[in-house]
Amino acid sequence: MLSRALGLISNDLSIDLGTANTLIYMRGKGIVLNEPSVVAIRQDRSGGTKSIEAVGTDAKRMLGRTPENITAIRPMKDGVIADFTTTEKMLQYFIKKVHQNKMFRPSPRVLVCVPCGATQVERRAIRESAAGAGARKTYLIEEPIAAAIGAGLPIDEARGSMVLDIGGGTSEVAVLSLNGIVYSASVRIGGDKFDEAITNYVRRNYGVLIGEATAERIKHTIGSAYPGKELLEMEVKGRNLSEGVPRSFTLNSNEILEALQEPLYGIVSAVKTALEQTPPELGADVAERGMVLTGGGALLRDIDRLLMEETGIPVVVAEDPLTSVARGGGRVLEMMDERRVDFLALD
């Protein structure tokens, strides 16, 4: 009775609590929030009380540019919670932000997507931090299922659908059929690893140190996964390690392609393993229709080409791949009350 009353003042949410970005889908409204999973914490003197300085986009701008008393941190790492308290605060902030009602404390039902490789401890941490952030009830759903539903795949049919979700911290590959997971694997390679690879490459080859934000910008601008027809160039500034002063230099897309080889092949081999492990009937279905790419990683230039050439099966990039998981969770949320949704991990 009470929960129904609370339901009137708060809307159900589907949260894609990602390493890089947190997306919130509100029931009946669509994607209402898409912000980086970054929190800036202010602590004025050592041992003093910590307070939240900024969350989301504002906090991300501070990454690597903070004074001593402010630390900008990313509370999620490899798809799971690394800093419990900060994650809770961040979720609380986001939930409050998407609820316009200022009078009551929102207490929505929340569906959170978790990587399929997450351990019991990691799942529990997510559930508890959602509860701590004010969720009335927390449901967990495996990311590949949400991604497949969000991409519009017919996962209820007796036919194999393969989905590859490349997130910020993890990449999930799964083969689904009849509303269930036939095979799934999670590798801790994602956008962050790409950035790291670019940073390492630049340091090794140019002797220049660049920050996280710069590495991400390079990836977005000239990053590619497969040799393209045109060569893209970009001017980058960083600190020269030997001289100790900032220097400017030019990077091209082929160099980035070379830098990204290692993490990309980690993903490719995960996909190949998945194809090996898939039962032949479902493997045939996947080979006929192809696999679907979702997540921010799908936006890397020509990553579908790479996977297509490596695996020999068609690769399709989902529409609006960044929001696939949150939208899929939202669709589950909308149908949850009417139908039995058997892939939800309930309490």
Partner 1 sequence: MVSEPVRDEEQGGQQQGGPGEIMRKRRIQMGLDTPQVAERLHLSQGIIEAIDNDDFESLPEPAYVRGYIRAYARMLDLDHEPLLARYNALAPAEPQINFSEFKPREKAHNLTMRWGTLLVSITLLALLIVWFVNQRAALQDSIAVSDADLQQYSQPELQLDSSRLEPLDIKSLENELAAQPISANARQADELTSESSSEAPSEITTESGLMVQLPVPATASTGSAAMTSRTAAGDSLTLTYLADSWAEIRDANDTVLAKGLIRAGTVQTLQGEAPFRCFLGNATVVEIKMNNKPFDHSKFIRANKTARFNVAASR
In whole angstroms, the minimum distance from the beta carbon of 172 to partner 1 comes to 18
Q: Angle CA(193)–CA(196)–CA(199) in degrees, nearest 5?
A: 155
Based on CB atoms, which residue is closest to partner 1, 244 or 312? 312
Q: Distance between CA 285 and CA 165 in Å, rounded? A: 19
In whole angstroms, the minimum distance from the beta carbon of 265 to partner 1 comes to 19
Contact 78, 188 (CB under 8 A): yes
105: three-class secondary structure by DSSP:
coil
In whole angstroms, the minimum distance from the beta carbon of 176 to partner 1 comes to 11
In whole angstroms, the minimum distance from the beta carbon of 77 to partner 1 comes to 31
Based on CB atoms, which residue is closest to partner 1, 9 or 313? 313
In whole angstroms, the minimum distance from the beta carbon of 64 to partner 1 comes to 35
Task: Name the one residue in this structure whose structure tokens are 């929190």.
Answer: 39
- Establish how many alpha carbons lie within 13 A of residue 289's alpha carbon, considering only the half-sphere containing its beta carbon: 15
Task: Name the one residue in this structure whose structure tokens are 């590619």.
Answer: 224
In whole angstroms, the minimum distance from the beta carbon of 96 to partner 1 comes to 31
Q: What are phi and psi of 14, to 5 degrees?
A: -115, 120
Based on CB atoms, which residue is closest to partner 1, 196 or 320? 320
Based on CB atoms, which residue is closest to partner 1, 244 or 280? 280
Q: Are strands 161-166 and 291-294 parallel, antiparallel or unpaired?
A: parallel
Q: Distance between CA 223 and CA 219 in Å, rounded? A: 4
Based on CB atoms, which residue is closest to partner 1, 199 or 253? 253
Reading the block at residue 124, the tokens are 């529990």
Which amino acid makes up residue 261?
Q
Based on CB atoms, which residue is closest to partner 1, 78 or 285? 285
315-317 β-sheet, strand order: 180-187, 171-177, 161-166, 291-294, 315-317
Based on CB atoms, which residue is closest to partner 1, 14 or 86? 14
In whole angstroms, the minimum distance from the beta carbon of 163 to partner 1 comes to 10
Based on CB atoms, which residue is closest to partner 1, 152 or 211? 152
Q: Distance between CA 87 and CA 196 in Å, rounded? A: 23
For the chain, state the CA radius of gyration: 21
Report DSSP state, residue 301: B
In whole angstroms, the minimum distance from the beta carbon of 73 to partner 1 comes to 36
In whole angstroms, the minimum distance from the beta carbon of 236 to partner 1 comes to 28
Helices (H), 63-190: 84-98, 120-132, 143-151
Based on CB atoms, which residue is closest to partner 1, 213 or 316? 316
The contact set with partner 1 (CB under 8 A) reads 149, 151-156, 179, 288-290, 292, 304, 308, 312-319, 331, 335, 339-342
Tell me the β-bridge partners of 293.
164, 317
Reading the block at residue 108, the tokens are 């929505």
Report DSSP state, residue 240: E
Q: Are strands 70-73 and 39-42 parallel, antiparallel or unpaired?
A: antiparallel
